[in-house]
Amino acid sequence: MDDRGSSGRLRVLAAGIFWLLLLAAVPLALAASPRQSDGSSSAQIQALQRAGDAVVSLRVTATEGAASAETLGARRSGSGVVIGPDGLILTIGYLLLEAETIEVITQDDRTLPARQVAYDLATGFGLIRPLVPLRGVQPVPLAGVGGLAPGELLLAASGSNSGTEVGFTRLLGVRPFSGYWEYHIESALFTSPPIPAHSGAPLFNRNGELLGIGSLFVLESVPGQERPTPGNMFVPVELLRPVLDEMKANGYTRASIRPWLGLSSSERDGHVQIVRVDRRGPALAAGIQPGDVVLEVDGIGVATLEAFYKQLWKRASPESEVELTVQQGSETRKVRIHAVDRMKTLRKPAGI
C-alpha cells in the first residue's frame, strides 16, 4: 500500500474495509495535533470509523431529453454521506439535476434505489433518501470551520465503481466563490492537493466530522499566486444548517427562487464575458451570444460575476424583465430578457 504522507492517496479494494484505511490516517492526523491521550485517540478512531461507514457511492441517470445532460452527461457518478438517522444522504446538487433514477452503493456493496428529497440552487446541495433502509450506518455530525487554520490536514472520501478513495488534503482558505453557472456563495472551502472524484465527496476533519461537500476541481485554489495551486472547492455544511428543515419540507429553499437567464459566464480582464448560452434559457431567445461582454444590469455597471449575480437577484420576482447592456463585437446594445424561475425549467421523472 502506497503511503505518500500528507498528500498521499489510499484506494480501497473492498468497500467493507474502507474504515480501516481511514484509521490509517490517524497517525498523520495526530502528528498534526498536540499530543493526545490513548482515550482521545480511541474516540478519534471510532469517529473516523463512523465517517467511513457513512460514505456512499451514487449512480444517477438523467431523464430523457434533459438539457443538463449536455454539460453533466446523461449518466453521472459521485459520492454522498449519511447525515440523518433516517438514512438521509447529503451530496452535491448538480448530480441530481433532472434525475430519472438514483442508486446508492453502500460500503457493504449493496445497491439501493433512492429518491430525491431536495435540490437547492442557492447552496448547491442535494438531498436523497434510499427507498430501502440502510443497515448499521450512523449519521456523521456536521462541523463548522471556525476552528480550522490554513494548512490543516483534512480527509476527503470519494466513491467510485472500483472502490472508495481516501484523499489526504489541506485547507488553503475560506472565501466567497462565484460559479460560471449563475451561482454564488459567500464562503467556500479550498483545499489542495486535489482529489479527482470530487463530485459530492465528503470532507472530514480529523475527528470524523463533516466540513463540506465536494463541488469542483479548480486550477487556482489560492488567488494571486504566480504559480497557481490546483485544488478542490467544497461547499461548507455551515450553509446547510439554517436551511436543512426547509429543504426537507419543500425540496428547495426560498433563496433558490430567483431570476435565471441561462448563461455561463467568466471574468476576463475586468469584465463579465458570456461563454455559453443555454439552449432552453431566455437569454438565447433575446439574442445573447457567446463572446458578449456584460457591462450593466438594469443600468448598474458590473465587472465581476458576484456583482452580476447579485444585481440580477435583487428582483423580488424570478419571472421579470431584466435589461442587460452588452458589448457584441464593436457594438454596444441594450437587451431585454424575460428571466424565468430556474426550478420550473427542470425536467422531472415520469409520473411526478
**pLDDT of 107:** 83
**pLDDT of 37:** 57
CA 139 from chain center: how many Å? 19
The CA distance from 322 to 324, in Å, is: 6
Q: Is 50 helix (H, G, I), strand (E, B) or coil?
A: helix
Start-to-end C-alpha separation, the chain: 47
| Stretches in the chain below the pLDDT threshold 70 | 1-40, 159-164, 350-352
- C-alpha pair distances (Å), 59 with each of 74, 83, 161, 172: 11, 19, 9, 30
CB count within 10 Å of CB 38 equals 7
Q: Is 142 helix (H, G, I), strand (E, B) or coil?
A: strand
- Contact between 277 and 288 under an 8 Å Cβ cutoff? The reply is yes
Residue 352, C-beta contacts closer than 8 angstroms, at least 6 positions apart: none
- Contact between 322 and 289 under an 8 Å Cβ cutoff? The reply is no
Sign of CA pseudo-dihedral 320, 322, 328, 333: positive
What is the Cα Rg of the chain in Å?
21
The CA distance from 237 to 239, in Å, is: 5
Local structure of residue 206 (DSSP, 8 states): T
Question: Do the strands 293-297 and 321-328 form a parallel or antiparallel pair, or are they unpaired?
Answer: antiparallel
Sort residue 240 into left (φ over 0), alpha (ψ -120 to 50) or beta. Answer: alpha
Local structure of residue 222 (DSSP, 8 states): S
- C-alpha pair distances (Å), 315 with each of 21, 219, 288: 49, 33, 20
- Contact between 327 and 241 under an 8 Å Cβ cutoff? The reply is no
Kind and range of the H or E element at 170?
Answer: strand 163-179
- Read off the pLDDT of residues 168-203 as tens digits, 9 standing for 90 and up: 899 999 999 999 999 999 999 999 999 989 999 999
**pLDDT of 181:** 96
Q: Is the whole-model pTM more than 0.85? A: yes
- Contact between 144 and 207 under an 8 Å Cβ cutoff? The reply is no
For the chain, domains (ranges, CATH) are 1-256 (2.40.10.120), 257-345 (2.30.42.10)
**pLDDT of 84:** 95
- Read off the pLDDT of residues 328-347 as tens digits, 9 standing for 90 and up: 999 999 999 999 999 999 88
**pLDDT of 253:** 97
CA 44 from chain center: how many Å? 26
